[in-house]
Amino acid sequence: MKRHVLPMLVLLAACGTPQEQCISAGTRDLRTVDRLIAETQGNIDRGYAIENVTITQEHWGYCAQPQVEGQPPVVPVPCMIEHDVTVQRPKTIVLADEAKKLEDLKAKRKDLAKAAEAVIAQCKSEYPE
């Protein structure tokens, strides 16, 4: 079942009307800046950032042994199995730098919002619903 979820999500994402697809493509940068503004504001509110770190964990498991043709089946043997896990950790920030970044992002958002208005109007005229 899990193997079918990703293709279905891709198909659903492609199901938007041509107008919606045009607007989505034209406002991608604006949505990215909005996400960064929310993240930066969250960092300021908390007083620290959150970073994702991938660590390797080990645990005991059983590993299959190679089967030799004509021999009886080989019993799996205990072995260490490694797997990667992503964890979130707090990260120190300089609040003044984070505030400056937020200010810059908000200024950039104003510019992108103005540009997006023209893109949205163009998409609506090209693809009326």
Number of domains in the chain: 2
Q: Are residues 54 and 86 in the same domain?
A: yes
Domain membership flag for residue 55: yes
Q: Are residues 83 and 106 in the same domain?
A: no
Q: Are residues 102 and 86 in the same domain?
A: no
d(CA 29, CA 35): 10
Q: Are residues 53 and 88 in the same domain?
A: yes
Tell me the per-residue pLDDT of 46-61, one tens digit each, with 9 for 90 and over: 999 999 999 999 999 9
The pTM score is 0.68
52 and 87 in contact (C-beta within 8 Å)?
Answer: yes
User: Scanning the structure block, which residue is given the tokens 């089946």?
Assistant: 73
Tell me the per-residue pLDDT of 65-107, one tens digit each, with 9 for 90 and over: 888 888 888 889 999 999 999 999 999 999 999 999 999 999 9
Range of the domain at 57: 49-63+74-92
Strand boundaries in 1-129, DSSP class E: 49-63, 77-91
> Which whole number is the average pLDDT over 41-48?
97
Q: Are residues 57 and 36 in the same domain?
A: no
Q: Are residues 30 and 83 in the same domain?
A: no
Which of 110, 122, 114 has the alpha carbon at shortest distance from 22? Answer: 122
Q: How far is CA 113 from CA 88, 118, 121, in A?
A: 32, 9, 12
Q: Is the pLDDT of residue 11 over 80?
A: no
